[in-house]
Amino acid sequence: MESDITMNKLSAVGTQDAQYLLSLIRTIPGFPKEGINFRDFMPVLADAKGLSILIDALAKALPVSVDDFDAVAGLESRGFLIGAPLAMRLNKGFIAIRKAGKLPPPTKSMSYSLEYGTAAIEVEDQAFKPGERILVVDDLIATGGTAAAAERLIQMNGATVAGFSFVMELTGIPTPAAISAYKRSSLLTMPA
């Protein structure tokens, strides 16, 4: 296990399982550009035991009670891979928040800024019911731009964000105020 990783809520699954899961996460220095350590959790998904530990840990580390949200929304694309099995484990529905242009009309869209331009996310029209409480799930929070856009998209559709659940949180990067206002959990914290 890398010494710069903090186990936050991952310890809820026990030391052996936490260390097993950590052993599957790869760090690739200098990708996608020099000075960045890419944190690859895809090997966790390829490992049946690792995937089971991950979903169990996310279910135990919810930022709010399971009774405080109605559905799970996953951010494209890795949020789909963990959000859908988490929703199933919690007996909740799953809503996919997609990159723009991936859904048939009608859709609702929200643009956001990236360090190198802009992007947009969207959901099918009527994906969220008015008053519905949503737990937003993704693999990683770095700058928080996508998560903040998801929060605005959910609000725009008459639903509310109950909280945010992440596998990993990178330190040293400011979190947008839109995200800071909500309860959130992360299994691991590590430097960007």
> Known catalytic residue: 89?
no
CA distance 45 to 111: 29
* Chain center to CA of 76: 9
> Known catalytic residue: 78?
yes
Q: Per the residue annotation, which of 2, 26, 98, 115 is the catalytic one?
A: 115
Q: What is the DSSP string of the chain?
A: --TT-B-GGGGGG-HHHHHHHHHH-EEEET-SSTT-EEEE-HHHHHSHHHHHHHHHHHHHT-SS-GGG-SEEEEETTHHHHHHHHHHHHTT-EEEEEEETTSSPSSEEEEEEEETTEEEEEEEETTSS-TT-EEEEEEEEESS-HHHHHHHHHHHHTT-EEEEEEEEEEEESSPPPHHHHTS-EEEEEEEE-
Q: Per the residue annotation, which of 76, 78, 89, 124 is the catalytic one?
A: 78
Which residues are tagged catalytic?
A: 78, 115
